[in-house]
Amino acid sequence: MKMLKMKNISLLIVVLFFVTLLPLLMDSCKPSQKVAAKSGVQLWAENCQRCHNTPSPNTFSPEQWETIGMHMQTRALLTQSEREKIVAFLKQ
Amino acid sequence: MRTQKALWLLVIVIFMNGFLMNELKAQQTVVDSSVLDRITELEKQTSYNKPGMDHFMVVGLATVGFASIKNTTTIGGVSSVSKTNSFPDADHFEFSPMLLWRHGQKFLLEFEPSFSGNSLGVNWADVSYFAAPNLIIRAGYLVLPFGTYSKRLAAGWIDKLPTDPMGIADMAPTDYGVEVEGGLPLGSMKMSYDLALSNGSQLMPDGTLGAGNITDNNNNKTLTGRVALLPFSNSSLEIGVSGMFGKVGDVSTSPTAKGNAYAFDLNYVKLFNPILLNIKSQYNIQDINSNVAQVDSLPYTSNTHATSFFAQGSIRPTGASGFIKNLELAGRYTTYNNPAGSNGLIQNAVTVGLNYWINWRTVFKVGYESYTGNINAASTSNKINSLFLQFSIQL
């Protein structure tokens, strides 16, 4: 009985999560003006520290940053525009 | 006499001019050909160094360590103690080079072989196709998107503590399948989705799940998915929910056995100058319902309900000066309750650690862990105190 309850609660939370996300999604997937105006350096400082220390741009060559940018998009699920701006900054 | 002199002078001037012109011409041709040679040489060099579309690099990680472990087992009130002191053990030695190939802006291939626990294995091997701006399609041998620990935080140079939280990664297996994922802007928020279809886990005789079968044991595919929301525009907070649904029983013996699992995760990283605060947590629930036909052919249901949880906090004075800014203090509480297998019903651990960051991807850790567990029989308990030294570097 307890097990069933626990499962139901989990299912409920998962469903609720989707239901609350849905209207947000329908509001169309667009960044706000403030978010769209963020620079590569700001996005680098905000996003890369979420999992590990923020990497120094000097660590890799521009070619390597291009590859790592794609790799980190698969890990961090960055938006395309975030990836492009961050990589452009790291390549400098 | 005068005209004769003038004539001689003229002859000399004409002769000199001719000579000089010749000299100049000769010089010019010499200069010309060397410049041309140089240009051809440079052209050759640039075409040799033409970057092309593809790029290959080797990254990955290496972790070496030392573990001093004291294990106290109490059976019916009688305790026995065993001690080990070892350099590499399964958790604290790993050498995993990761090969990354990029074909233009569309394809990324990842292969990570790993030497750990005295054997050579493969962590993942997959092909990602960047199909559209926020859509990545992947196929191969994948870490399933269940929670965040396995996919994002397990690497030695990323993990703040020398051990993995028990029971967390075990419920997010690596499997053969396909996956779609991406990040989406949502006004001032952001979300991400990650869905995978894989062969699915297999129910083992001891009630635990095995994974990574190349032939599906029941032809039923397992769906694993995670959705996450980053509610703040600075991406400091991420909350995610995951689910994993599929049949786990062998088609011949327990075709209706199902395994459903849920995970909830939280990640919060924010600078409160001069301190960088880092909070990470994940809660996993795994239910295995196996309907096994008994001898008298009445259905008999055996259910396993397992949970695992960790909450971890760490602080690093990134705003300080000198060597203090490279120090990081971390603590974690972990519980793991699993009636199946030999793990034991109630287990918990407290882990604390002090890290020294040599640079952003190189760390030296000192950690202490106190573990208590009750092995299935209520009268048997286990207490393990461990001291770890660990060095980890991103390759």
CA distance B164 to B307: 16
Q: pTM (2 decimals)?
A: 0.85
Q: How many angstroms separate the Cα of A80 from the Cα of each of A24, A70, B38, B56, B131?
A: 19, 9, 43, 21, 11
B131 touches chain A (CB under 8 A): no
**Which amino acid would we find at residue A15?**
V
- The topology under which CATH files domain B55-394 is Porin (2.40.160)
Q: Would you say residue A24 has pLDDT above 70?
A: no
Q: What are phi and psi of B294, to 5 degrees?
A: -85, 175
Q: According to the model, what pLDDT value does residue B48 have?
A: 80
Question: Given an 8 Å threshold on Cβ–Cβ distance, is A53 in contact with B305?
Answer: no
Q: According to the model, what pLDDT value does residue B247 have?
A: 85
ipTM of the complex: 0.84
Spatial neighbors of B305 by CB under 8 A, at least 6 apart, are A3, A6, B285, B286, B287, B339
Task: Yes or no: say if B282 and B265 are a contact pair by the CB < 8 Å rule.
Answer: yes
Bridge-based pairing state of the strands B135-143 and B94-103: unpaired
* Residue B301 CB-density burial (10 A; 0-12 exposed, 13-18 middle, 19+ buried): exposed
Q: How many angstroms separate the Cα of A35 from the Cα of each of A46, B132, B173, B179?
A: 12, 21, 35, 28
Q: How many angstroms separate the Cα of B254 from the Cα of each of B72, B205, B293?
A: 39, 11, 8
Nearest by CB to residue A10, choosing from B100, B189, B285, is B285
pLDDT tens digit sequence for B338-365: 877 665 678 999 999 999 999 999 999 9
Domain boundaries, chain B: 55-394
| Rounded average pLDDT over B204-218 | 81
Q: Would you say residue B205 has pLDDT above 70?
A: yes
CA distance B144 to B196: 7
List B residues 174-203 in contact with A (Cβ-Cβ < 8 A): 181-194
A33 touches chain B (CB under 8 A): no
User: A with B: how many residue pairs have Cβ under 8 Å apart?
Assistant: 133
Question: Given an 8 Å threshold on Cβ–Cβ distance, is A78 in contact with B183?
Answer: yes
